[in-house]
Chain A
Amino acid sequence: MSRLNQLDPTLVRRRLASDGLLIRTGPFVYRLRSRLPQVAEGLLAMYPLADSPEQGLADFHLRIDSVTGLRRWWRPQVNAWLDGYTPFLPLPADQAYALLEWAMNFCVAGHAHHYLMLHAACLERQGRCVILPGHPGAGKSTLTAALMLSGWRLLSDEITLVDRDTGALHALARPVSLKNASIDVIRGFAPQACLGPLARDTHKGSVAHLQPSALSVDGMHLTGRPAFVVFPRWRKDAETSWTPKGQAEAFELLARNGFNYSMLGRLGFELVGGLIDSSRCWSFEYSRLEEAIPAFERLAQEGAP
């Protein structure tokens, strides 16, 4: 097995354009196909350290390509196919890489019901995991990106996977999706950070992805233990503040962030209960990353901010 950056880029492009390129992210293997240069460039930039098995079983078969007909040439559009079936509407061609990442999320969120899946970011430091559920626009991805760039191990930016047998947290170690102003915030926070193709005017505004750290990719086969659930909220000029959350309220909020909480029935209830039992819960408000990051560091070291 080799990492993507050990393969000749020409070979990567050729595999993408023919039988498909296999990419492992955490427990899943994707077979990706695309003839679009942006997709190849994006993958090479975002997944340099990911395993790329030569052959074998793929969990998801995904193709990103130009649509056929007029819109292939005039104001070109692209779409995503999951094993030949397309659940999405076509998007402008410059959003091809963003579409790939969204479609990869869709594959997991729509199918991987052998896990409890939470719409939350998850990171680990000192053997302790923090789960960050958050509405879009709550500043979850910005915080996630900054924590990862400060030495936390990223398990996931969008989908937290909970093992149904052990309650352990599984890692995906995929790129962090940054939107609008947070793209420049992260560029300013860490000028060395590697960002992928910029997609403008998407339904979420401008979107760019951030390469996961080597620590995160190398550790993606390691599960983590839940220790904290933090509900972040970014508010302009807010003071950094932590408010303890009651277990019942935290349970309800976390369950509401489940992609498949109700589908798992009783098991979902027990798994979220287990997470809350082993975690201390806060809501967290911030406006300045340079204050937020040290506070999370204290959380990891001392168990409280």
Chain B
Amino acid sequence: MRPVWDDLLRAVIDPQSMLALDESRWDLVLRQAYAAGLLGRLGHLAQQQGIEQQLPRPVWHAMEAMLTLVAQQQRAVRWELLHLQRVLAGLPGPVLLLKGAAYAAEGLPPAGGRLFSDIDILLPRDQLDAAEAALMLGGWISEAREAYDQRYYRQWMHELPPMTQVSRGTTLDVHHRLLPLTARIQTDPAPVLQASVPVAGFPGFARPQSLDMVLHSACHLFHEGEWGHGLRDLVDLDALLRAELRSRGSSLWPELLDRAARLKLGRPLFYALRYCARLLHTPVPPEILSRCPDRAGALHSAWMDALLLRGFGSAHPGSQRVGTSVANFLLYVRSHYLRMPPHLLLPHLLTKAWMRWSEKRQAKEQAALPGAEGG
């Protein structure tokens, strides 16, 4: 199928272009936007431009419905943060809000129209035990029930196993690093913690300074294994970059490169800038791309283009190209490869496969027991 998502990309880049779409084109764009997690964003942009009443009625209704859901989620995130703030008050800190939670708490540029799934926080590793104890007292329980899963997270990952609040059902990821301990890129969280800035309205929380938010978002996106929300994350990056460009002017670019070099996140930044410029027309000067630390070579870039341009379009059949499913699989493999060296990854995948198989077998045996259905 032909990749027909130009209308969606153009709507994000230039919201006024939405006025030129007729109903039959909207029929596809609305579905692509919904699948990519960008419908609320389009609605937010239309409101910002004051053009929402000029859109076809069903189009604005779909956006308004999504914005209603977004407003409720952002309300819920802020409410949850008030609880968390109290639960974690005894820690020396700093406790940093990452990504969506930081955007919502402070109403940062990517927050407009954006849905959230869970709350991510980052804190110094030596406060991890205290934080976990406080969270358990506050009603947060660990989702990983198997000893192996607990060990996997604690020994190799950059976060505790996800925790769920028993009465409110919200999910929390507690990070102590930006990337897994076993990842190919080793980035030190200390400078991010040191340079953090307070979050307005939530005295118990800080967030990474703006450049670090860009780098963390890039780092997260380009270690991703599931690309359904890749484009949404790229739109976040674009919004962050444009806001910083407005406040810092063109000094943003050299500062960003320096910071990336300091945190050893040049490669994810390179991809972020490359695809932001390419898909969303973010005004990245070309010489900045060529000066990016640890940037990919021409051959490597061409290969990544083949994968990532398919990955970004993978959310909806209407924007998928030939080879999307192969690209998705390779991106999935790539994400694991980046997170763990093969000598750890292979035994891990085998163990997980064995666990799933034996779980299934146990479930079958349970079901076969007489009277099991009533229980």
Contact = CB atoms under 8 A, between A and B. Distances in A.
A114 B24 contact: no
Nearest to A58: B27
A59 B58 contact: yes
Interface magnitude class on chain A? 10 to 19
Q: Give the interface residue-count category, chain B.
A: 20 to 34
A33 to B, nearest CB: 13
B23 A57 contact: yes
A84 B317 contact: yes
Given A57-B59, A114-B61, A263 B27 contact: no
B69 to A, nearest CB: 6
A83 B61 CA distance: 18
Interface string B53-69: 00010110110111011
A56 interface: yes
A27 B61 CA distance: 10
Interface string A258-271: 00101111000000
Contact of A59 (B62, B66, B72): B62
A90 B58 CA distance: 30
B72 A265 contact: yes
Interface of A is mostly: loop
Nearest to A84: B317
Nearest to A56: B23
A263 B59 contact: no
B65 A111 contact: yes
Given A83-B31, A112-B65, A113-B65, A57 B72 contact: no
A29 interface: yes
Interface string A6-44: 000000000000000000000101000000000000000
A233 interface: no
A221 interface: no
B1 to A, nearest CB: 13
Nearest to B61: A114
B57 to A, nearest CB: 8
Nearest to B57: A27
A113 B72 CA distance: 11
Nearest to A55: B24
Given A57-B56, A59-B62, A114-B61, A263 B23 contact: no
Interface in A60-114: 61, 83-84, 111-114
Contacts of A56: 23-24, 27
A136 B65 CA distance: 27
B58 A113 contact: no
Contacts of B24: 55-57
Contacts of A27: 58, 61
B167 to A, nearest CB: 15
B28 to A, nearest CB: 10
A84 B30 CA distance: 14
Interface in B156-192: none
Interface in B29-87: 30-31, 34-35, 56, 58-59, 61-62, 64-66, 68-69, 71-72, 75
B26 interface: yes
Contacts of B34: 83
Contacts of B35: 83
A267 B26 CA distance: 28
Nearest to A264: B68
A264 B71 CA distance: 8
A93 B66 CA distance: 33
Contacts of B61: 27, 59, 112, 114
Nearest to A115: B65
B27 A57 contact: yes
A168 to B, nearest CB: 15
Nearest to B26: A57
A254 to B, nearest CB: 19
A51 B64 CA distance: 25
Contacts of A113: 64-66, 68-69
A56 B26 CA distance: 9
Contact of B68 (A29, A83, A263): A263
Contacts of A55: 24
Contacts of B56: 57
B144 to A, nearest CB: 26
A265 B59 contact: no
B65 A265 contact: no
Interface in B298-321: 316-317
A277 B27 CA distance: 39
A264 B70 CA distance: 10
B46 to A, nearest CB: 14
A196 to B, nearest CB: 27
Nearest to B34: A83
A263 B72 contact: yes
26 contacts: A27-B58, A27-B61, A29-B58, A56-B23, A57-B23, A57-B24, A57-B26, A57-B27, A57-B30, A57-B56, A58-B27, A59-B61, A59-B62, A83-B34, A84-B316, A111-B62, A112-B61, A113-B65, A113-B68, A114-B64, A114-B68, A260-B68, A262-B72, A263-B68, A263-B69, A263-B72
Given A57-B24, A83-B35, A264-B68, 11 more contacts: A27-B58, A57-B23, A57-B30, A57-B58, A58-B27, A61-B31, A84-B316, A84-B317, A111-B62, A260-B68, A263-B72
